Amino acid sequence: MRTYQYNYYTPTKIFGGEGAIEHLLPSIQQYGNKVLMVFDSNTAHATGIYDTVVDTFKANGIQWWEYDKVDPNPRLYSVIEGAQLCKDNDVDVVLAIGGGSVIDCSKGIRAAAFYPDLSDYDGLWAWGASGKDIKETLPLVVICTMASTGSEMDGGAVIINEHTHQKGGSFHGDLFLPNVSILDPCFTYSVPPRHVAAGVADIFIHTSETYLDGGDGTYLVDGFAEAIMRTCVKYGPIALADPKNFEARQNLQWAAPWAINGLVRAGRTSGWTLHGMQHPMGAYHDIIHGQGLAILMPRWMKYILGKGNTVEKFAQYGVNVFGIDANLPQQEIAEKAIDATADFFFNKLQIPSTLSAIGMTDEHFEEMAADAARGSFMFYVPLTKEEIIEIYKQCL
């Protein structure tokens, strides 16, 4: 039996449930009274959070500066601009209002505020990517408005270097864990349906990336992972059909951080194959992350079925997540599990089923596959550049 050492550290203080915004002011004031507010303008205004926050700040002598130029796939230039605002105004704390893109950008900002020369673009990217010289970050408070990436309770930030088309966990480590995250499911009611669906797919695949990867004797964490995926299967369609269903929104919002905060990785390896293939897609095309992952997953599963322990693991997944009859032959269960995965994403969640449907072409398949293949030795089933291109083509 293979066993792996693991470390688990999640110091983020969570305030959850309806009305959790009441904890915002003390959460800010413990760090100071100068705030950089990073947000998506549409979301912040649609939910009413912007007015609530600004009214709170005005009534309590909090100074704030605003930054709302965050792309759906955040770029390094946004990190630099936000960090410059922090430097210029001696900011005490960063407040992120939004989903994964805003939170990730804020994580980059909180570190880059301590980088000595923000005009040194390549140097900042290398500094963030290595992480070894990052000794200090600004405090980060999060108001999470979307159930998706789980960035509100994890120590990673995915940023794009738009000069080189690199996308990855360019800022990562314990110093990037948010200090406080506020999770009010009511703030997710106004999320557009396509983003709700993509967020559910992201939660599901964050979990499955680890669940389907290496490790023996991981019965407990397998059970955690299966519960998170079943939560997505149960409540994702309900949230789409009934956007103000509090039970669905609360369960999905709480599932998101546990999918990625290290809980289901304990005692096992994780190559994150689908993210390895999707990140280059996001670097060349401004697609919704969860949509790209969902399009890849069933084709990837079908492509690797029969290699390594995939039949056994896919069968376990099919039985415990989708309720497929355990008495069927394992091969049949595994095949039905792939079909159930596709049905969940493309029919139940109504995610577009092809890359062309979300605006992608095959123009950069070579570059994307070459980028993905550099980490393929860590994949659940290692893939060559040519094999990755073939999976991309099957998704097109």
| Structural domains of the chain in order of their starting residue, each with its CATH number | 13-187 (3.40.50.1970), 193-395 (1.20.1090.10)
CA distances from 277 to 18, 61, 204, 284, 330 (A): 37, 47, 16, 12, 27
* pLDDT for the residue numbered 3: 59
pLDDT for 172 equals 82
How far is the C-alpha of 225 from the C-alpha of 264, rounded, in Å? 6
Residue with tokens 């969860």: 290
Question: What pLDDT score does 295 carry?
Answer: 98
Give CA–CA dist 162/24, Å, rounded.
34
Extract the tokens encoding 97: 């209002």
Over residues 104-120, the mean pLDDT reads 95
CA angle 45-46-51, nearest 5°? 35
For 96, phi then psi, to 5°, come to -100, 125
Nearby residues of 306 by Cβ (< 8 Å), 6 or more positions away: none
Query: How many Å apart are CA 198 and CA 147, to the nearest integer?
Result: 9
Q: What is the pLDDT of residue 288?
A: 93
Is residue 226 predicted with pLDDT exceeding 90? yes
Q: Which pLDDT score is estimated for 307?
A: 94
Q: What is the pLDDT of residue 168?
A: 62
Q: Does position 391 have pLDDT exceeding 80, yes or no? A: yes
Kindly report the three-state secondary structure assignment for every residue of the chain.
CCCCCCCCCCCCEEEECCCHHHHHHHHHHCCCCEEEEEECHHHHHHCCHHHHHHHHHHHCCCEEEEECCCCCCCEHHHHHHHHHHHHHHCCCEEEEEECHHHHHHHHHHHHHCCCCCCCCHHHHHHHHHHCCCCCCCCCEEEEECCCCCCHHHCCEEEEEECCCCEEEEEEECHHHCCCEEEECHHHHCCCCHHHHHHHHHHHHHHHHHHHCCCCCCCHHHHHHHHHHHHHHHHHHHHHHHCCCCHHHHHHHHHHHHHCCCCHHHCCCCCCCHHHHHHHHHHHHCCCCHHHHHHHHHHHHHHHHCCCCCHHHHHHHHHHHHHCCCCCCCHHHHHHHHHHHHHHHHHHHCCCCCCCHHHCCCCCCHHHHHHHHHCCHHHCCCCCCHHHHHHHHHHHC
Distance of alpha carbon 79 from alpha carbon 81, whole angstroms: 6
Give the lowest-confidence range in 39-43, 154-158, 165-169, 208-212: 165-169
Ranking 2-6, 51-55, 142-146 by mean pLDDT, the lowest is 2-6
Predicted confidence (pLDDT) at residue 169 exceeds the cutoff of 70: no
Q: What is the mean pLDDT of the chain?
A: 94
d(CA 138, CA 151): 16
104 close to 159: Cβ distance less than 8 angstroms: yes
At 303, give phi and psi (nearest 5°). -65, -40
CB count in 10 Å sphere of residue 185? 24
Q: Which two tokens stand for residue 107?
A: 């994580």
Q: By the 8 A CB rule, do 18 and 50 touch? A: no
| pTM, rounded to two decimals | 0.95
Given a cut of 90, whether residue 7 has pLDDT beyond it is no
The answer, yes or no, to whether residue 282 has pLDDT greater than 90, is no
Confidence category of residue 189, pLDDT binned at 50, 70, 90 = very high
Q: What is the mean pLDDT of residues 137-154?
A: 97
The C-alpha atoms of residue 310 and residue 97 are separated, in whole angstroms, by 40
Spatial CB neighbours of 125, under 8 Å, sequence gap ≥ 6: 76, 161, 164, 166, 170
Q: What are phi and psi of 73, to 5 degrees?
A: -115, 95
pLDDT tens-digit map of 332-361: 999 999 999 999 999 999 999 999 999 999
What is the pLDDT averaged over residues 40-52? 90
Phi, psi of 52 (to 5 degrees): -60, -45
73 pLDDT band, cuts 50/70/90, is: confident
Q: What angle do CA 393, 394, 396 make, to 5 degrees?
A: 60
Residues 6+ apart with CB under 8 A from 144: 98, 99, 103, 152, 181, 182, 183, 187, 253
The stretch 240-252 carries a mean pLDDT of 98
Grade residue 283 by pLDDT with cuts at 50, 70 and 90. Answer: confident
Give dist(CA 81, CA 89) in Å, integer. Answer: 13
